[in-house]
Amino acid sequence: MLEIIVCFKHVIDETELRIDRASNKINFEGAKTKISDDDKNVIEEAVRIKEKNGGSITALCVGAADAKKSAKEALAMGCDRARLVSDPAFSDEDAIATAYVLSQAIKKIGKYDLVLTSTGTTDSYTGAVGPALGEFLDLPQLTYASKIVISGNKLTVDRLLEEGVETVEAESPALITVSREINQPRFPTLLQIMGAGKKELLEWNAAAIGVDIGIVGKGGSRVEVTALNLPKSSRKRVIYEGKPEDSAKQLAEALIKEGAVK
């Protein structure tokens, strides 16, 4: 039976953030949380794979206890069980440390054929967790998947690249990072939502998955976020006066010169 592990992140809803233009800072106060948008595509793909090939899905999240509601949503979308890993020791850690924690949790889960992650999360979008997790688990990794076909233990994946699509093959077990273009996530029905409460949701801490505390959290991270600012954008405030046909021409020329239009 195909065993799928889906990694998802519980993030702050970016549409809820307020911007303080004076200080150029982001105000996180009172913002709601959710499953990272791209991770919903990953969960959806896992459910579609299961619907087509059979198997079972374990949803895995490293995050605060607050992530429980997102775990329930993943269960309502069709995952069979969820594992939530949280520990104060993990706070402010970088992508590599997160990948290490995920790898330890996956080792505790044990058997798996497929590990699915998104190509990046909507909050920090480092894009590093998936590949780093593949390394920690010593798995072949197929990134930016826009199509996944499974035949026995052979995986065929279309990789969505900037200039085209590359088709690659690998044998399971493997790690696939899934692009958001792959599908449109479903909404669960009320019946599925009611059913989610009956599915197994286990919470693990660092000790439960045998994490080496020295290489997680802020202390164990090699990357530190020192500031979070908005990009500064200033307007040019150019006005082309005169006859409309002349000023339109001037505007078009200026836009072409700036590279805004080709």
Residues lying near other proteins in the complex (CB under 8 A): 15, 34, 69, 72-73, 76, 187-191, 193-194, 196-197
**CB-based contact 84:101 (threshold 8 Å):** no
Distance in angstroms (rounded) separating the CA atoms of residues 128 and 119: 8
Which tokens go with 122?
Answer: 């909507």
In angstroms, give the least distance from the CB of 13 to other proteins: 9
Strands (E), 63-173: 81-85, 114-118, 141-151, 154-161, 164-171
Nearer residue to other proteins within complex by CB, 51 or 253: 51
Q: Which is nearer to other proteins, 76 or 160 (CB)?
A: 76
Minimum distance, C-beta of residue 189 to other proteins, in the bound complex (Å): 4
Residue with tokens 């087509």: 52
> Which contacts qualify for 215-220: CB closer than 8 Å, 24 or more apart?
215/97, 215/100, 216/89, 216/90, 216/93, 216/97, 216/100, 216/101, 217/89, 217/90, 217/91, 217/92, 217/93, 217/97, 218/91, 218/92, 218/93, 220/93, 220/97
3-class state of residue 95 by DSSP: helix
Q: How far is the CB of 86 from other proteins (least distance, A)?
A: 18
Q: Which is nearer to other proteins, 60 or 76 (CB)?
A: 76
**Phi and psi, residue 32, nearest 5°:** -80, 165
Q: Shortest Cβ distance from residue 194 to other proteins (Å)?
A: 5
Minimum distance from residue 153 beta carbon to other proteins (Å): 34
Q: How crowded is residue 33: how many other Cβ atoms within 10 Å of its Cβ?
A: 16
Nearest CB to other proteins, comparing residues 65 and 161: 65
Q: Which is nearer to other proteins, 21 or 236 (CB)?
A: 21
The CB-of-76 to other proteins minimum distance in angstroms stands at 6
Which of residues 80 and 135 has its CB atom nearest to other proteins in the complex? Answer: 80
